[in-house]
Structure 1
Amino acid sequence: MNFKAAFSALAILLAGTSMALSAPIALTKTNPNSVFDGGGRKSLRIINNGDPMVNQRVTAGGFRLNTGAADIIAWCVDIAHNLSLKGLYQVTSTPFTNTFTFSETQKTNIKSLFETTYSSLDLNNNNQSAGFQLALWELIYEKSGNFDVKNGNFKSTTNTDARNFANTFLGNLGGAVTQSYNIDYYESLGYGRNNSKYSQNLVSVTPVPLPAAGLLLGCGLAGFYLAQRRKKV
Structure 2
Amino acid sequence: MQAFCIDVDHWLKTNGNATYDIISATASGGLSNLQLAQVGWLFDHHASDLGSAKKDAAFQLSLWEIFFETELSLNLSNGTFKSNTFENESGTTRNLANEFLGVITADNTYRSSGWEFYVLNPDNPSDNQRLITWHEKDPGNPPSEVSEPGTLLLLSLELGIVYFSTRHRNSAYLSSFA
TM class by smaller structure: 0.5 to 0.7
Q: Which among 97, 108, 114 is matched to residue 37 of structure 2?
A: 108
* Alpha-carbon distance between aligned partners in 1 of 2:127 and 2:124, rounded to the nearest angstrom: 4
Unmatched tracts of structure 1, length 5 or more: 1-71, 192-196, 218-233
Structure 1 residues 88-127: aligned runs within 5 Å: 88-93=19-24, 94=27, 96=29, 102-118=31-47, 120-123=48-51, 125-127=52-54
Aligned residues: 131
**Pair 1:212-2:146 in alignment:** no
* Alpha-carbon distance between aligned partners in 1 of 2:13 and 2:128, rounded to the nearest angstrom: 5
Deviation at 1:182, TM superposition (A): 1.2
Partners of 2:75 and 2:102 within 8 A in 1 = no
| AA aligned opposite 2:69 | E
* Alpha-carbon distance between aligned partners in 1 of 2:84 and 2:134, rounded to the nearest angstrom: 28
Residue 189 (structure 1) aligns with: 123
* Alpha-carbon distance between aligned partners in 1 of 2:22 and 2:99, rounded to the nearest angstrom: 30
| AA aligned opposite 2:50 | D
Compare the two structures and name the one with the higher strand fraction. 1
Which deviations, in whole Å up to 9, do the C-alpha atoms of 1:152-189 show, x marking residues without a partner?
Answer: 12111122621111111112436xx9970111211100
Structure whose CA Rg is larger: 2
* Alpha-carbon distance between aligned partners in 2 of 1:199 and 1:78, rounded to the nearest angstrom: 9
Deviates more, 1:164-173 or 1:135-144: 164-173
Deviation at 1:190, TM superposition (A): 2.6
Where does structure 1 differ by over 2 angstroms across 4 or more consecutive aligned residues? 171-174, 211-214
Residue 13 (structure 2) aligns with: 84
Partners of 1:81 and 1:198 within 8 A in 2 = yes
* Alpha-carbon distance between aligned partners in 1 of 2:69 and 2:46, rounded to the nearest angstrom: 20
Q: Which among 194, 198, 208 is matched to residue 127 of structure 2?
A: 198
The SS at the match of 1:108 is: helix
Deviation at 1:141, TM superposition (A): 0.6
**Pair 1:171-2:102 in alignment:** yes
The SS at the match of 1:213 is: coil
Higher relative contact order (CA 8 A, sep 6+): 2
Partners of 2:119 and 2:131 within 8 A in 1 = yes
Unmatched tracts of structure 2, length 5 or more: 106-110, 145-178
TM-score by length of 2: 0.65
Percent identity over the alignment?
28
The SS at the match of 1:155 is: coil
Residue 160 (structure 2) aligns with: none
For the aligned residue pairs, the C-alpha RMSD in angstroms reads 2.5
Partners of 2:40 and 2:112 within 8 A in 1 = no
- Change in CA separation of 1:178 and 1:186 when aligned onto 2, cut-off 3 Å: closer
TM-score by length of 1: 0.51
* Alpha-carbon distance between aligned partners in 2 of 1:207 and 1:183, rounded to the nearest angstrom: 9
